[in-house]
Amino acid sequence: MRDYIDIESITDLHALVQYTPPRHPLISVINHSDFYAGRPKTEALYRFGFYTISCKRFEGLLYYGKGHYDFNQGSLLFTAPGQVIGPGPNVKIDEGWGLFIHPDLLHGTSLGARMSSYTFFHYEVNEALHVSDEEAAVLKDCVDKIEREISLPIDKHTQSVLVSTVELLLNYCNRFYDRQFYTRAKVNSDVVQRFEGLLKDYFSQGSLIEAGIPSVGYFASQLHLSTSYLSDLLQRFTGKSTVEHIQLELVEKAKNLLWGTENSISEIAYELGFEHPSHFTKVFKAKTGKSPKEYRHGN
């Protein structure tokens, strides 16, 4: 079993890889050749207490979450605080940079309140962002601006300049992920079709009493995707999230039961996997504008 090394601060990270002390306590840029040269030669996995954005071009295995990725091109990986990442034993670095952002830098800012909207921080390794040379140059320009700002004495403008540049970088990443989604339209269309097939199969069961209402995680695991990536993919290609797809299919099954049986509302709710009829009524009304009772009686 591999050990975990918890790194809670930017200062601790610099000490771990024997790098010069950080110029700013809450944000840092480290060249990856320096990072991997200085890190302890251990099979341990790292668990960071901050956001990481890594642009890498190297050969070898990188362990990330529960899987690994074989890199041979320029790719970006993102992790949120508490996630696990670590290099394999035979990683050979060609080039790349790492940006490390402590949540305290974003505290009280509009970006801090919106960080959850950058869902790629929760993607799996096989969902990395692969960038062209031109895109990589755009991102590197943002990183260079952050490095220049870090090199200056800290004053009352430092936080706002750093946060706005980080936000610019993240927005570029959003744009480039959109490009990646659509340039892989055929592959992603196949995923959407497979998801819709799984959804239909799940709800074709006579009763959901034992199986229960399916979770987003169930479909993501069946498709070998992270829950965030699946929802983003469906949102882009269908205009609806995974949860919305599940709820709409649930409502369609409920309509059939309301019209085709004389079971009570409570019995139908139980048959659909709801523990509480009130929750069923709330979901049904939110999607149809009518309560199950109103729908059954044509009101």
Q: What is the pLDDT of residues 108-131, one digit of tens each?
A: 999 999 999 999 999 987 788 988
* Rounded Cα distance, 272 and 266, in Å: 10
Give the residue carrying structure tokens 């290099």.
Answer: 87
Dump pLDDT digits (tens) for 13-72.
Answer: 999 888 889 999 999 999 876 665 555 566 678 889 999 998 876 555 555 555 554 444
pTM of the model: 0.81
Angle between helices 185-203 and 158-183 (to 10 degrees): 80
162 pLDDT higher than 90 = yes
275 pLDDT higher than 50 = yes
298 pLDDT higher than 90 = no
CATH class of 187-296: mainly alpha
Q: Domain coordinates of the chain in residue numbers?
A: 4-183, 187-296
Which pLDDT score, from 0 to 100, does residue 53 have? 94
DSSP string spanning 164-217? HHHHHHHHHHHHHHHHHHHHTHHHHHHHHHHHHHHHHHHHTSS--TTT-SPPHH
Q: Do domains 4-183 and 187-296 have the same CATH topology?
A: no
CATH homologous superfamily, domain 4-183 = Regulatory protein AraC (2.60.120.280)
